[in-house]
Amino acid sequence: MSAVLTENTVTKASVAMGARVEGLNLTREMTGEAVEHLRSLINEHHLLVLPDQNLEALELERFGRLWGDLLTHPSTQHRDTPHVQWIAGKDRMFKFFPGTFPGFDGWHSDMTWHSTPPIYTGLHARRMPKSGGNTAFANQHLAYEMLSDEMKTRLNGLEAFHTGKVFGPDVEDSTHPVIRTHDDTGRKALFVNANFTKQIIGMSDTESQLLLFELFAHSVRPEFTYRHQWAVNDLVLWDNRSVMHYAIQDYAESRVMHRIVVKGGVPR
């Protein structure tokens, strides 16, 4: 049997972004029509919540391959397949980790240090604490559109250096546009993040840091965000070209997630 998607299964997750899609069973084979419907929904809403998906790692990998080739991540990998990342944490209550720019560590788009960063990320909840452990998401199309005309002009044509050396000395670094254009919709999005973006090309260190700090603060304004409260077996799929996320580390019990990332092209 195939997974079925009908219009009345879709409801908005928030004003800023996201749609909740009820009634799918991803253990069944998905038709090409259903995948394209989901793709049109994610182009519109940037993030999809697919609840009640009891998927093993290989089933999650199979679903991910419907969207494109999968990347591996240089940190943890699931024992059954390198294309599913195993993410686990516990005892994180009140243990916060400030980064280079205090107050904004944690907000990022996945693997922007990669030469072809993911176009989609899927995160699947396998075990959740009784409280806490939510994930916040920020719509970077809105972040761009709410910039002043003067700032849009200033950013036009700029590029930024992204590094992944936090994951090891052999992980690549890349340079990408500060403003990227979505391959499918043509909409522009802000494409810098506090975890991996370290320098605006052609600027002094001071000028670059001041501009990046301003962009980091702007990009996560509350009105651009959606905060997802996880339930076990939720699968959240989002567009990594237009969405940043932040895993809130406010829990004191085990939290286990599986993640897939779908390879993209060179950002333009």
Q: Looking at the predicted structure, is the pLDDT value of residue 98 above 90?
A: no
Beta strands in the chain (DSSP E): 2-3, 10-12, 19-21, 29-30, 47-50, 70-71, 85-89, 120-127, 135-139, 159-163, 173-177, 179-181, 188-190, 197-200, 225-228, 235-239, 243-247, 255-262
- pLDDT (tens digit, 9 = 90+) per residue, 200-213? 999 999 999 999 99
**Token pair in block for residue 231:** 């339930």
Model-wide pTM > 0.85: yes
Please enumerate in sequence order all residues whose Cβ is within 8 A of that of 32, keeping only pairs 6 or more positions apart, or say none: none
Q: Where are the domains of the chain?
A: 2-262
The average pLDDT across 88-101 equals 55
Long-range contacts of 101-105 (CB under 8 A, 24+ apart): 101/194, 101/209, 101/212, 101/213, 101/216, 104/194, 104/216, 104/217, 104/220, 105/194, 105/195
CA distance 210 to 223: 23
Amino acid in the structure at residue 111: M
Per-residue pLDDT of 20-53, as tens digits, reads: 999 999 999 888 899 999 999 999 999 999 999 9
User: 2-262 has which fold?
Assistant: Double-stranded beta-helix (3.60.130)
Tokens coding 229 = 């409260």
Residue 190: what residue type? L
**Three-class secondary structure of residue 212 per DSSP:** helix
What is the C-alpha separation between 245 and 195, in angstroms, rounded? 11
Structure confidence by residue, pLDDT tens digits, 222-263: 999 999 999 999 999 999 999 999 999 888 899 999 999 999
Q: What percentage of the chain has pLDDT greater than the value 90?
A: 79
Rounded Cα gap, residues 185 and 183, in angstroms: 6
Q: Which two tokens stand for residue 214?
A: 């301003």
